[in-house]
């Protein structure tokens, strides 16, 4: 067994708890451990009322014991602190695969039976509780949306601490206890998350208490942080800006006393920091306390199995005894393991927790399993939104004047922030100004608790904008903030949102599950504003050009995901307002930041965005039945499509062109597949059933085929989009590289419409020549031909 | 201006360099800075032979000045160290947007003109060098594949240090100098990368010298690491296991001397560590040196522009003077900025670098811009591969015996490792044993330089397997290792490979670009083995169920990406052997680890994998023209398809079923779209043009539609796959949740084949009943009905 290293920095107070308190807390811990082992192993005989037989044991053993006793230990001690101080605490479980522990504690607190009335506080309830765990039709093996008191899954490791900070922002009375496994601590997102303390304001935010649980092992290996010398670990944590309080041991009585003292120390320190900040205002960034807990992996479990050490090794990670159904020796070991918790001391003969233990945890909303912050929808207050129409840009005629869409949005967001000083945050990886949302800084700042210099601008401890050069932190903070009942927007360079693909996946899965749980109240949607997009990466080139996040999003359950491509400033305002009001979705908005033409006066924009797509009659030459549909989604494709339509109406005026603009991408799906989907009737009325459709799309072309696959016209749809050709070049050269330019779209129309006049063939050749000329121009001058870049609807 | 903090820990030796050395190194630095500014600003007049006019200046100013002078300073000093010690050094540029600096240095060393002969060492060459930068048809603004000497883009920040370590592994004489920007240092991957020193063996690996360049700002904000107190930063870096050597200042002469001393100190320490480890073998993990360099952002650039401070602030990030074409004052400032480097002292009247400066950098392969490690294909040595057929499992009859595919592969990989002890590594985030590749530990260990305990297994400083709980590190180490001319395989849980989506994107982009550069030699492919896949996450549930990485991969350029879904153990062997021999691709192999049926004897497997797909005649009832094609891709879909075909051959023997298995997914694309694509003729011969195709696919169904979109039969293809329904449950319950089960596939066939006997309708109803019964069974027993899970081809 790998005994925890003994270290010198323990805040040791061996008499923090009386003998009786010690006995009780240890009993409570045993109860949680007993229920945890029961969940992993037992189908029946939950109180061991009879000898353990093979049929009492699950045929498939699916769960993770290793981390669980540590989670239970921390839980029991937090309960004591909450009771002592009437503290408001939630519990974030980094090692989320220790699901049985959190379920056990929710059950011991009574919450589980309140939320799931089928599972009562008696022997039958215990039987069901055990049986359902990791069982078909039951609950997952991990802490999950199904687990009362959780805002965090922990299946994909790395996000516990960032979620914890997100939960603490603007929750001044909340303490977020965050258990970080030493495996998780090796991940990049977790390693970066420690620095979140530079963005936590003790005057207006709550506290995060990180508890680094070093049990020494991951699935199959020791962990880095447990095996580096203690002084190195201490330096690291102090370097991150914390004061570590270490508790270490494998003797329960001693560890109980140490841990109680450590929690008292930590909570005292938190109170002192907050009091100082709230009385005198913020001065310096405080050094927050944290706990390092070194206990054996799989503590209190089997010490040796089949001659090999298990407790305190990686072998305790999942199920220490793997053959309890078929191997009588394993089963006997399981039985004595279960008996080692002395269940009869913990539960009465009916299976009810004994009163002295029942009296131990906090009650009501103070129970961590019932804390409303962990069911954030309960606390959700509507945003106070200004009328977005007040921020509209004037559009007297379409495609004639230029605006920077995100800059216009910035003014709206500024006032959203002003009106909601306690429940809305704007996240961005050092890109809020770059994405031209700078108007927000007229009324707020970026959160910054570190040193400032006279030249700094817009930094303050109470800023409402959060910037750090980590998409992981932006995403994770926002997730934690939303899950605890608040609102926000994450603005990000389009290409780099891929950095958080996997975090998005996990959040979408969480939303999918929580929608199916009636007791989980809806939370605000996760809103992305992707700007600095693929078509305008003039400064940065290929590494910054990737519109594929939309494809990832489209793979998730349709009831969760929405994708919007507003073509101009006013439509961006309308779409954003809609997204900020929505619940339980992931909304992806893609919008450019560069000066671009405006098409829609505000009223039209509202109508257009409400419909999600529609014919732009002013840009169409067809009154009824068109010869060709030119469809577009995204600001740059819309521009190129309009410019192409402009050429066609001048050069081939007899060609009946219908121009359809798509804002809400999910409208393209059938109504049977997405709540926003159009009926076939509606769809056909726009796109026809048999006319060529030239579709200019912002991203990878295939998504449009996928979305329109079931439509009659599908076979006639020809999509242009990004085909992975990019570099540092001019805007028009970029669209040409990908055949999305106006000239190519005209060629596409000519190639696909039958029976055109001979003039069309000549026009086609002129388009080829125009492309060559444009290419030559940019290569000579280093910028686009103004005849192209200055195009407006009525200029030619 | 934010002056660098003065600190106390500087390794200060004010007379490291003589006055003459100092003058020369400063001149060289000025030359690099001059060339950098020239690239950002100048179209013409490269030597300022005449007064600077508007037409000499680029119309669009696209580049990043802020980080560049720091990069140039480090480069010049590394040159000195290389010369002094004949050191073998490559330069990894974390702040890759400082592209002009690295291009400037490659030009000064002559490498640029060797690689791009059009750009000579004269005034015309300078003009072209300047003009091409960030110019249409020219080079990107970032360090990129086009930049000689680079293995790293740096456009997406976070991966410099992990690439550097990857480059150093098994390169005992190489020193990888890695510049880390303080913006990049905020990212998660970078934060985790510091711990790579626990996996670097001084006896057999080279050294990494991190240079944390604190210039204080990102795009728009100060940086965390520059603004925390120096003792905190020092604790952090010591906690990461380094000895920081700090250099700080804004007075060039002093900084030059300090930095020279710091480099001498660092290189001395590296030599001492390596000597100790190589003479006496490894003892403890060494504390490696690193450098902290604090200099002003945009150093030597304009101090004030339009009344606002620029040098030493975030305003220096991109172009300090933005209106040099139209604003004469800005242009005058640019001119005097350029003159401040005294170009006439640096270049002769023909534009050639003056001899005393030309003599300064190292020569030949010692030039960092020409170091072959940074063009890894030059050093690539073939893998010595055992005959994979020697590891075959016997398959006397198809679908009768079970094997764990990855376990079989493990034995092959074990011997690949044995035969290639200096050029092959296996990466995995703590999952190599979990993914059942454990045979590798018969002959090697996991790299581990930290403390060990007696219970540890398979840990050693010279292990060839690299495990850490960070997909970012696994991916980044492997990228660095491949880019410097070695080979490897990354085994990963399928769902969590999404964590490195963005790293994959960037690597694929790098490969796309480097394939177009004749001087970049092909490197070994990036090989993924995705196991513990979506269909068999019995322990872990929804968070671990996501097959979407394949979709991401399919969005990249077809010449780069390959996806393989071997159906069994022997085909996995064949596919893996093929991938390990390939060059310049990203290969994704998806394979299960659970016991599963084998279908193909080795010879058949080789043939099948070589073809990439094919009819399994033994499982088909059609001899010529089929009534229906049952296609499958992936081990679980293949199992379910075969079980469905088995039902059909027994119950509807007159139905002519053709079974097609697909290993190489890209074969489905037309030959015009992918090098592996089938011609229509070949495709139609397998799938017909008009018969129903029921396609059971491993991942999200849409990808199959996308790949087959242009085929005649497309309209008749019906795809089953993962539709985002998952939890902790039994294997068969998982396929039922997603309608991929054998019973549903039979229903799909019946629903789509016309003119079936009435018996078919009854069979269909039996299938519905079978699904219900199977569901009931799992919910009662907690495991699958053995009649289902024990199915073999001839068992029923």
In Å, how far is B34's CA from the nearest CA of chain A? 20
Per-residue model confidence (pLDDT) at position A538? 79
pLDDT in tens, B511-534: 999 999 999 999 999 999 999 899
Across the beta sheet with A526-531, what order do the strands follow? A459-460, A446-447, A465-467, A424-428, A487-493, A526-531, A586-590, A561-564
| Cα distance from N-terminal residue to C-terminal residue, chain A | 81
pLDDT in tens, B431-479: 899 899 999 999 999 999 999 999 899 999 999 999 999 999 999 999 9
Instruction: Name the residue among B62, B157, B541 with its Cβ closest to that of A539.
Output: B62
pLDDT at B95 exceeding the cut of 70:
yes
CB neighbours of A9 closer than 8 A, spacing ≥ 6? A230, A234, A244, A245, A246
Higher-scoring residue by pLDDT: A11, A110: A110
Residue B674 pLDDT greater than 50, yes or no: yes
Mutate to test the interface with B, among A555, A716, A734 (most CBs of B within 10 A): A555
How confident is the model over B77-98, as a mean pLDDT? 97
pLDDT digits (tens, 9 = 90+) for B396-440: 999 999 999 999 999 999 999 999 999 999 999 988 998 999 999
Residue B277: what pLDDT? 95
CA separation for the pair B665, B677 (Å, rounded): 9
Cβ distance B59 to A781 less than 8 Å, yes or no, reads yes
CB–CB contact B543 A234 (8 Å)? no
The residue among B191, B476, B510, B733 with the most chain A CBs within 10 A of its CB, best to mutate, is B191
| Record: contact B509-A543, CB cut-off 8 A | yes
Residues in chain B within 8 Å Cβ distance of A702: 555, 706, 709
Contacts of A730 in chain B (CB under 8 A): 60, 136
Residue numbers in B near A1 (CB within 8 A)? 455
Q: For B548, which of A183, A555, A783 is closest by C-beta distance?
A: A555
Mutate to test the interface with B, among A5, A324, A435, A499 (most CBs of B within 10 A): A499
Closest residue in A to B233 (Cα–Cα): A239
* pLDDT of the residue at B690: 96
Encode A180-238 in three state secondary structure.
EECCHHHCHHHHHHHHHHHHCCCCCCCEEEEEEEECCECCCCECHHHHCCHHHHHHHHH
Chain B environment of A555 (Cβ under 8 Å): 548, 551, 700, 702, 724
- Put simply, the answer to whether B552 touches A548 (Cβ < 8 Å) is yes
DSSP state of B712: G
- Please compute the mean of the pLDDT values over residues A240-268 and round it to a whole number: 97
Q: What confidence tens digit (pLDDT) does each residue in A343-401 have? A: 999 999 999 999 999 999 999 999 999 999 999 999 999 999 999 999 999 999 999 99
If pLDDT is split at 50, 70 and 90, which confidence band does A8 have? very low
| Contacts with A505 from chain B: Cβ below 8 Å | 495, 498, 546, 548
- Of residues A467, A551, A706, nearest to B705 (C-beta): A706
Q: What is the mean pLDDT of residues B268-292?
A: 91
Per-residue model confidence (pLDDT) at position B228: 96
Q: What is the mean pLDDT of residues B628-637?
A: 98
Provide mean pLDDT across the span A402-418.
97
Give per-residue pLDDT as tens, A601-643: 999 999 999 999 999 999 999 888 999 999 999 999 999 999 9
Burial A288-297 (b: 16+ CB within 10 A, else e): bbbbbbbbbb
Q: What is the mean pLDDT of residues A211-239?
A: 95
The Cα of A188 is separated from the nearest Cα of chain B by a number of Å equal to 4
Q: Do A1 and B556 touch (CB under 8 A)?
A: no
Q: Which residues of B touch A142 (CB under 8 A)?
A: 540-541, 543, 728
DSSP states along A553-571:
HHTS-TTTEEEE---SHHH
CB within 8 Å: A156 and B495: yes
Chain B nearest C-alpha distance from A362 (Å): 31
State which residue of chain A sits closest to B785, comparing Cα positions: A59
Residue of B233, B454, B468, B542 to mutate when probing chain A, most A C-beta within 10 A:
B542
Give the pLDDT score at A9: 40
Provide the pLDDT for residue A794.
Answer: 82
**Is the CB of A233 less than 8 angstroms away from the CB of B227?**
no
Distance from the Cα of A91 to chain B's closest Cα (Å) equals 20
Residues 6+ away with beta carbon under 8 Å from A631: A641, A659, A660, A661, A662, A687, A693, A694, A695, A696
Under 8 Å between Cβ of B670 and B713? no
ipTM for the complex?
0.96
CA distance A541 to B767: 54
CA distance B779 to chain A (A): 5
Cβ separation B728–A155 shorter than 8 A: no
| Nearest Cβ partner for A186 among B195, B227, B543 | B195
Residue among B62, B228, B555 minimizing CB distance to A728: B62
Pick among B150, B782, B788 to test the A interface (most A CBs inside 10 A): B782
Do A187 and B318 lie within an 8 Å CB cutoff? Answer: no
Q: Is the dihedral of CA A757, A762, A768, A774 positive or negative?
A: negative
Closest chain B residue to A98 measured between Cα atoms? B540
Does A3 have pLDDT greater than 70?
no
| pLDDT of res. B8 | 38
At B283 the pLDDT is: 67
Measured between CA atoms, the residue of chain A closest to residue B229 is: A451
Taking CB atoms and an 8 Å limit, are A186 and B198 in contact across chains?
Answer: no
pLDDT tens string A640-680: 999 999 999 999 999 999 999 999 999 999 999 999 999 99
CA-nearest residue to A557 within chain B is B724
Contacts of A229 in chain B (CB under 8 A): 451
Q: Is the pLDDT of residue B794 over 90?
A: no
The verdict on a CB contact (< 8 Å) between A188 and B186 is: no
| Tokens standing for residue B719 | 């795809």
Would the pLDDT of B759 be above 60?
yes
Interchain proximity B501–A552, CB inside 8 Å: yes
Q: Do B727 and A1 touch (CB under 8 A)?
A: no
Query: How sure is the predictor about B207, in pLDDT bands with cuts at 50, 70 and 90?
Result: very high
A430/B220 Cβ within 8 A? yes
Q: Nearest-CA neighbor of B283 among B191, B352, B201?
A: B201
Please judge whether A468 and B1 are an interchain contact, meaning their C-beta atoms are less than 8 angstroms apart.
Answer: no
CB proximity list for A523: less than 8 A, separation 6 or greater:
A376, A377, A380, A482, A483, A485, A514, A583, A584
Start-end of H helices in A341-404: 343-346, 355-358
Q: Cβ contact (<8 Å) for B496 and A513?
A: no
Residue of A4, A447, A469, A532 to mutate when probing chain B, most B C-beta within 10 A: A469
Please report the domains of chain B, with CATH numbers, ordered by start residue.
Answer: 64-320+362-375 (3.40.50.970), 398-597 (3.40.50.970), 614-790 (3.40.50.920)
All residues at 6 or more sequence positions from A268 whose CB lies less than 8 Å from its CB, including other chains: none
Q: How confident is the model at residue A282 (pLDDT cuts 50, 70, 90)?
A: low
Chain B residues close to A195, C-beta within 8 Å: 186, 191, 224
Mean pLDDT of all residues in A537-552: 90
- Please indicate whether, in this complex, the C-beta atoms of B433 and A220 are within 8 angstroms of each other: yes
Query: Are B125 and B351 contacting, i.e. CB atoms less than 8 angstroms apart?
Result: yes
Residue A30 — pLDDT band, cuts 50, 70, 90? very high
Q: Mean pLDDT over residues A315-332, rounded?
A: 95
Taking CA–CA distances from A733, the nearest residue in chain B reads: B136
On average, the pLDDT of chain B sits at 95
B359 min Cα distance to partner chain A (Å):
34
Q: Give me the helices (H) in A542-630, please.
A: 549-554, 569-581, 602-611
Q: What is the pLDDT of residue B280?
A: 80
Determine whether the interchain pair B430/A235 forms a contact, defined as Cβ–Cβ distance below 8 Å: no
Reported as a pLDDT band with limits 50, 70 and 90, residue A14 is low
**pLDDT class of B796 with cuts at 50, 70, 90:** low
């Amino acid at each position: 067994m790998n005994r925890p290293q003994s270290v010198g920095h323990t805040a040791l107070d061996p008499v923090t708890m009386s003998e009786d308190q010690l006995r009780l807390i240890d009993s409570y811990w045993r109860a949680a451990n007993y229920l945890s082992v029961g969940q992993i192993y037992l189908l029946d005989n939950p109180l061991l009322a009879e000898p353990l037989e093979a049929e009492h044991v699950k045929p498939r053993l699916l769960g993770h014991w290793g981390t669980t006793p540590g989670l239970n230990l921390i839980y029991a001690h937090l309960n004591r602190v909450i009771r002592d101080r009437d503290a408001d605490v939630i519990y974030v479980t980094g090692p989320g695969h220790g699901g049985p522990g959190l379920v056990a504690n929710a059950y011991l607190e009574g919450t589980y039976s309140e939320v799931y009335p089928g599972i009562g506080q008696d022997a039958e309830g215990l039987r069901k509780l055990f049986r359902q765990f990791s069982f078909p039709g039951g609950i997952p093996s991990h802490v999950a949306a199904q687990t009362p008191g959780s805002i965090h899954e922990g299946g994909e490791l790395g996000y516990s601490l960032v979620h914890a900070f997100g939960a603490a922002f603007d929750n001044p009375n909340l303490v977020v206890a965050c258990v970080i496994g030493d495996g998780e601590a090796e991940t990049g997102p977790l390693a970066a998350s420690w620095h979140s303390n530079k963005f936590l304001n003790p005057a207006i935010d709550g506290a995060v208490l990180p508890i680094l649980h070093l049990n020494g092992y991951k699935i199959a290996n020791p962990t880095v942080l447990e095996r580096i010398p203690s002084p190195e670990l201490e330096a690291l944590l102090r370097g991150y800006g914390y004061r570590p309080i270490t508790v270490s041991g494998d003797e329960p009585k001693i560890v109980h006393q140490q841990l109680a003292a450590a929690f008292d120390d930590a909570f005292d320190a938190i109170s002192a920091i907050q009091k100082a900040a709230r009385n005198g205002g913020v001065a310096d960034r405080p050094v927050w306390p944290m706990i390092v807990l070194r206990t054996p992996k799989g503590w209190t479990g089997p010490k040796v199995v089949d001659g090999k050490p298990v407790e305190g090794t990686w072998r305790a990670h999942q199920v220490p005894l793997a053959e309890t159904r078929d191997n009588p020796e394993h089963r006997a070991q399981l039985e004595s393991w279960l008996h080692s918790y002395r269940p009869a001391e913990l539960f009465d003969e009916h299976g009810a927790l004994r009163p002295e233990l029942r009296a131990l945890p906090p009650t009501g909303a103070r129970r961590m399993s019932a804390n409303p912050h962990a069911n954030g929808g309960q606390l959700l207050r509507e945003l106070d939104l200004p009328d977005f129409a007040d921020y509209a840009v004037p559009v007297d005629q379409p495609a004639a004047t230029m605006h920077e869409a995100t800059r216009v949005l910035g003014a709206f967001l500024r006032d959203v922030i002003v009106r909601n000083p306690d429940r809305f945050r704007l996240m961005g990886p050092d890109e809020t100004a770059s994405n031209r949302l700078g108007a927000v800084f007229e009324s707020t700042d970026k959160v910054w608790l570190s040193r400032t210099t006279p030249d700094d601008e817009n930094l303050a401890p109470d800023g409402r904008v959060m910037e750090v050069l980590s998409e992981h932190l932006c995403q994770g903070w926002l997730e934690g903030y939303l899950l605890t009942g608040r609102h926000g927007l994450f603005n990000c360079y389009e290409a780099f949102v891929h950095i958080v693909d996997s975090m998005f996946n996990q959040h979408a899965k969480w939303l999918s599950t929580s929608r199916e749980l009636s007791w989980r109240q809806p939370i605000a949607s996760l809103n992305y504003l992707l700007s600095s997009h693929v078509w305008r990466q003039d400064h940065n080139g290929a590494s910054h050009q990737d519109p594929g996040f939309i494809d990832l999003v489209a793979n998730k359950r349709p009831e969760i995901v929405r994708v919007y491509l507003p073509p101009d400033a006013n439509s961006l305002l309308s779409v954003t307002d809609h997204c900020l009001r929505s619940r339980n979705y992931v909304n992806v908005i893609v919008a450019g930041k560069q000066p671009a033409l405006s098409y829609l006066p505000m009223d039209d924009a509202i109508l257009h965005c409400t419909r999600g797509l529609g014919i732009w009659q002013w840009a169409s030459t067809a009154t009824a039945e068109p010869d060709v549909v030119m469809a577009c989604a995204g600001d740059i494709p819309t521009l190129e499509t309009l410019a192409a339509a402009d050429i066609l109406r001048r050069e081939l005026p007899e060609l009946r062109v219908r121009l359809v603009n798509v804002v809400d991408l999910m409208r393209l799906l059938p109504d049977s597949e997405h709540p926003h989907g159009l009926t076939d009737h509606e769809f056909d009325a726009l796109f026809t059933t048999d006319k060529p459709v030239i579709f200019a799309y912002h991203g990878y072309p295939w998504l449009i085929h996928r979305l329109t696959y079931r439509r009659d016209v599908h076979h006639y749809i020809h999509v242009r989009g990004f085909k992975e050709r990019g570099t540092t070049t001019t805007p028009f050269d970029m669209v040409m590289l990908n055949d999305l330019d106006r000239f190519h779209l005209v060629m596409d129309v000519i190639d696909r419409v039958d029976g055109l006049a001979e003039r069309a063939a000549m026009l086609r050749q002129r388009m080829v020549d125009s492309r060559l000329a444009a290419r030559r121009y940019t290569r000579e001058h280093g910028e686009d031909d103004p005849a192209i870049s200055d195009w407006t609807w009525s200029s030619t």
